[in-house]
Amino acid sequence: MNKRTHKYLPLFPVLAAYIVMFIIGDNVAGMWQLVGMLAFYCALGQAFNIFLGMTGYVDFGYVAFLGVGTYGMALALTRIKNLEAFGLGIIPIGLLLALVMGILLSLAVGAVALRLRGAYFAIATIGVNEGFRYLIEGAKIWNGAEGMIFTAQMNEAFGRDTASAIMTYWSDIFVLVIAALAALVTLVYMRSKIGYALTALREDEDAAKVMGVNVTKYKIIAFITSAGFAAILGAVSWALKTPYVFPPEVFEIHYTVEAIIIVLLGGAGTLLGPVMGGLVYGISKYYLSIILPGFQLLIFAPVIIIIILLFPEGIVGMLKARLKGTSLESFVI
């Protein structure tokens, strides 16, 4: 095996997990709904990890990027006239719009917040989702607090059968693809100058600066990438899968909490972590909601504290320590 492919070995377990998820969902009856949910959590973790995991900065307003992405797709479907002429072409337009809006918001937030460090950064971001939600509701932008429902537009653009296939099947597959792409980008970043710079930044920002690392540049790269994936994820998983958007729902801080739990549980800054975290979190949430409905957060809140206190490295961090020196070592990072 040559060195080039060796570099990308750690991608195999991640991709294998996603393929297995697809096969199980597609072939085992009644599993598709669970697989769709797990795919969302893995993708969410994978996207959030690019920023939180690689820089060590906590973005409490992360859900705002998903919300904005949802609006991107919603606007493409509701504001464009003559939908039939576009047909499926409306989806790439919506995705592009979501991406652009997500990146613009991340630039606006990043321009202020990324000048700040640690606690100050967290404080600056904690209001982003609420702030954006109240801007939409207050200035009555995009229908304000009423939100938008666009099932009819989807039926018009794609035809009834295709629209329902998109909602129930293709959107979940798309989410799996986003998760895999985010994992690929994470690995590319890790193996490039960006990864080394961010590791230096995470360990000691001042030392990295003194050594001539342009920390601001790399922070911005990680922030925008992470936000872009979030926007696309919102557009696919929230707009295409459930064709409506209400400001209080898509800017709900709850989803930031879930992203944090997934990344921490799996191991922040690792490639396999978000997959592990997403699967463990998603499966336990799914079954807890059956056994003990309404108790998920009550259980997960102490779990976060326990992870922080006792297992700050997460599942993959511990796994890495176990596998050190074995032949499996190069598969897990």
For residue 9, with 0-12 CB atoms within 10 Å meaning exposed, 13-18 middle and 19 or more buried, which class applies?
middle
Q: Residues near 213 by Cβ (< 8 Å), separated by ≥ 6?
A: 197, 200, 201
Select the span of 30-38, 78-86, 121-129, 163-171 touching another protein (CB under 8 A).
Answer: 121-129
For residue 128, with 0-12 CB atoms within 10 Å meaning exposed, 13-18 middle and 19 or more buried, which class applies?
buried
Closest CA to 11 of 322, 239, 309, 272: 272
Select the span of 125-133, 217-225, 228-236, 275-283 touching another protein (CB under 8 A).
Answer: 125-133
Q: Which one among 31, 32, 93, 137 touches another protein, defined by CB under 8 A?
A: 137
Q: Does 127 bind another protein (CB under 8 A)?
A: yes
* Least spacing, CB of residue 155 vs another protein, in Å: 31
* Least spacing, CB of residue 301 vs another protein, in Å: 4
Helix axes of 296-310 and 254-266: crossing angle, nearest 10 degrees: 40
Q: Which one among 123, 152, 207, 318 touches another protein, defined by CB under 8 A?
A: 123
Q: Does 211 bind another protein (CB under 8 A)?
A: no
Phi/psi-derived region of residue 197, left when phi > 0, alpha when psi is between -120 and 50, beta in every other case: alpha
Q: Does 317 bind another protein (CB under 8 A)?
A: no
* Least spacing, CB of residue 55 vs another protein, in Å: 10
Q: Does 118 bind another protein (CB under 8 A)?
A: yes
Q: Which is nearer to another protein, 236 or 259 (CB)?
A: 259
Q: Which is nearer to another protein, 290 or 309 (CB)?
A: 309
* Least spacing, CB of residue 201 vs another protein, in Å: 12
Closest CA to 186 of 178, 195, 197: 195
Q: Does 113 bind another protein (CB under 8 A)?
A: yes
How far apart are alpha carbons 119 and 314 in whole angstroms? 22
Select the span of 7-15, 69-77, 107-115, 153-161 touching another protein (CB under 8 A).
Answer: 107-115
Q: Does 115 bind another protein (CB under 8 A)?
A: yes
Q: Does 309 bind another protein (CB under 8 A)?
A: yes
| C-alpha distance from residue 67 to each of 53, 70, 73, 269 (Å) | 21, 5, 10, 24
Beta bridge partners of 245: 148
